[in-house]
Amino acid sequence: MKPKQALTNAVTKPSPAVLTPDLRELILPAHRTVARGANAALVTLYWQAGQRLRTEVLKVDRAEYGEEIQRSFRQCRKD
Sequential pLDDT tens for the chain (79 residues): 555 555 555 678 888 888 999 999 999 999 999 999 999 999 999 999 988 888 887 776 666 777 787 888 888 877 6
Record the pTM. Answer: 0.51
Sign of the dihedral through C-alpha 2, 4, 9, 11:
positive
- What gap in Å lies between CA 32 and CA 39, rounded to an integer? 10
Residue ranges of the alpha helices (H) in the chain?
4-10, 16-56, 59-78
In this predicted structure, what is the pLDDT of residue 71?
84
Please tell me the predicted confidence (pLDDT) of residue 4: 59
pLDDT on residue 47:
93
